[in-house]
A and B are shown apart, each in its own frame.
Chain A
Amino acid sequence: MGCERWGDKLGAYADGELDRADANAVGLHLRECAVCAADVLDQVQMKRSVQMAGRRYSASTDLRNRVRELVASKPRRQTGRLWKILLIPALAVLILSVAVSLYVKRESARRHGVYSELADLHVAALASATPVDVLSTDRHTVKPWFQGKIPFSFNLPELQGSEFTLVGGRVTYLAQTPGAHLIYQVRKHEVSVFIFQDRGEETASLPSGPVHVLSFNVENWSQNGLRYFVVGDVGSEDIEGLSRLLRAAG
């Protein structure tokens, strides 16, 4: 058909996503080409049908009230009142000291939160009927599988001569950030390796080193802009062993 050059523009035209010049060009073409005009009409009708069909569900009053209560009970953001606080130095000192202690507590809670969430991800993956989305012991299969799924790349170690075997991998999320979740096996124990970009508030300021949380051993470190976490119920020497291999590869 003679309209190939318009093919990829018609959908964007129906979606109102073309810039003015392209939209005008498509508009002119549609006046002359019945086939493309019918195509756009078809797409617009489809959009309308989905829109009508998609507006389907209404929340219960009970849920609305619960959420409203949850949201309304929280204080407003403080930015508008900041100047008042600055006018009262004594109050400022008090607030500062409270803030420091709150910060320390929050940091500690946040760290604990990150580790608990990772432990949850580890357990949830193992409990799942399909713990991994790419099942392969070959790092040259697993690594490319992540291409296009997460916004970064990483290296995996050669495991020959070690006790570890690669089981596979899956995409995971921590604090709304996508990352790689790899599962390794060592003497019938599964160990999770999580890799995220080291820029989120959740991970960037975590101190590196081993941690023991909820009966799991966790090691974490930052390398080349990535944050690695190794989580498992094996002994700390195994966690360290796998971490060493990953560090050497990264």
Chain B
Amino acid sequence: MPAATFEDLAMPLFDQLYNFARWLTQDTTEAEDLVQETYTKALRGFSSFQAGTNFRAWMYRILRNSFLSSRTGLRTTIPINTEEDEMLLPANSTTPESVLIEQADRETVQHALADLPVPFREILLLCEVEEMSYQEIAETLTVPMGTVMSRLFRARRALRDLLRNKNEEGRHGL
């Protein structure tokens, strides 16, 4: 059976990885550097990549770790206490907010996403945009599944709060 080449596996992820990098860095040049660094590191480490394990999670993990050790990554992630990821999962959210979300147009959601702390932004992107399973997210972030669930919950709550604030600001601004 012919073995897959690095190119076969890695190039289909290019667009998604760039989108993710751009969201993390909030800067075009940094995102380009980050993607290039990710491919260089992955290529170098491909011989140690174990066939049968999750290649996509592996690539995202490399990108994310490169980001975390970059100047911007260090600056943007230090003040956030992500590890309050206590296993407090939701009671039902008490107010359905369909109206809030319906009112929030794409641009507003984009602004809110950009305003989120990196750990919340990245987990929402991995879950909703990359459509990763909890298991894949756990592999990418190297955290336990329970942490994925609680952090996802907190990220969604934070996004709702931001959208609500933006909604109210918009209303007062009128």
A interface residues (Cβ-Cβ under 8 A, vs B): 1, 3-4, 6-8, 10-12, 15, 17, 35-36, 38-39, 41-43, 45-47, 49-60, 63-64, 66-68, 70-72, 74, 76-77, 79-80, 121, 124, 128-130, 133, 148-149, 151, 172-173, 175-176, 178, 201
**Quick check: A63 and B19 within 8 Å, CB to CB?**
no
Most buried by A among B10, B61, B109: B109
Asked if B98 is an interface residue, CB under 8 A from chain A, the answer is yes
Q: Tell me the complex Cα distance, A66–B90, Å.
A: 45
Contact of A42 among B22, B85, B96, B131 (CB under 8 A): B96
**Quick check: B3 and A54 within 8 Å, CB to CB?**
no
**Quick check: A45 and B102 within 8 Å, CB to CB?**
yes
**Quick check: A71 and B7 within 8 Å, CB to CB?**
yes
Contact of B23 among A17, A57, A201 (CB under 8 A): A57
**Quick check: A50 and B19 within 8 Å, CB to CB?**
no
**Quick check: B134 and A15 within 8 Å, CB to CB?**
yes
For chain B, residues 68 to 110, give those with C-beta under 8 angstroms from any C-beta of chain A: 68-69, 74-75, 78-79, 83, 85, 89-94, 96-98, 101-102, 104, 106-107, 109-110
**Quick check: A67 and B35 within 8 Å, CB to CB?**
yes
For chain B, residues 1 to 34, give those with C-beta under 8 angstroms from any C-beta of chain A: 1-7, 10-11, 14-15, 18-19, 22-23, 31-32
- Indicate with 1 or 0, residue by residue over B45-59, a CB within 8 angstroms of chain A CB atoms: 110100000000000
**Quick check: A80 and B2 within 8 Å, CB to CB?**
yes
Q: Which A residues lie within 8 Å of B98 (CB)?
A: 38, 41-42, 45
Instruction: Give, as a whole number of angstroms, the nearest-CB distance from A58 to chain B.
Output: 7
Q: Which B residues lie within 8 Å of A50 (CB)?
A: 109, 113, 124-125, 128-129, 159
Given the known inter-chain contacts A51-B128, A67-B36, please indicate yes or no for A3 contacting B92, CB distance below 8 A. Answer: yes
**Quick check: A56 and B23 within 8 Å, CB to CB?**
yes
Most buried by A among B40, B93, B104, B147: B93
Q: Tell me the complex Cα distance, A56–B111, Å.
A: 11
Q: Which B residues lie within 8 Å of A71 (CB)?
A: 6-7, 10-11, 39, 43
**Quick check: A46 and B3 within 8 Å, CB to CB?**
no
19 sampled A-B residue pairs with Cβ under 8 A: A7-B90, A10-B92, A15-B134, A17-B134, A35-B92, A38-B98, A49-B109, A50-B113, A53-B109, A54-B19, A54-B23, A67-B36, A68-B11, A71-B6, A71-B39, A80-B1, A128-B74, A133-B78, A173-B68
